[in-house]
Amino acid sequence: MFKNITRSVLFCLIFFLPGKEAVAENIIYLTRHAEKQVDGTKDPALTEQGNRRANFLANLLRGEAISHIFSSNYKRTLQTAKPSANLVKLEIEQYNPGKQEEFSKLLKQLKGVILVVGHSNTIPDLVSLLGGDPQGEIKDSEYDRLYKITTDSKGVHSQLLRINLEKK
């Protein structure tokens, strides 16, 4: 009789307890830099609107336990990442946007929540390399895309979010 009770308990444990939920191993947020000045240089700073967007991004991600913030070595990307870095008291780590495959491998190895700030011509490729769907190219006038790539025990999931600001 004891064997039958044990078998019944084991059966219930195996078949009736809720399944293991997928727990995120890492979350990678990717965005293009915010609005840049048109000053004729290859390394312009952000506009006032761009600074507002960078601050909005930091506040949007405020509740996330960000462990790494990456940016290319340009004023506009560094200035977009800076409010987030200040908020979570992290140094901005620089990456080479010309070495996307190498960088994507590093991102896949990291655990936690990561923010990557790049460019309209690099972020969609990086999203694809991470297993996400970039949903087309980013237009030169488009600054509101925020991708969220989540990796868990069930695979890779991607979302396209928007950072919409009211223009003033």
At 103-145, the pLDDT tens digits run: 999 999 999 999 999 999 999 999 999 999 999 999 999 999 9
Contacts of 85 (CB under 8 A, 6+ apart): 69, 91, 92
What is the rounded average pLDDT for all residues in the chain? 88
17 pLDDT higher than 50: no
> Which residues are registered as beta bridge partners of 150?
27, 157
pTM: 0.85
**What does the pLDDT read at residue 85?**
98
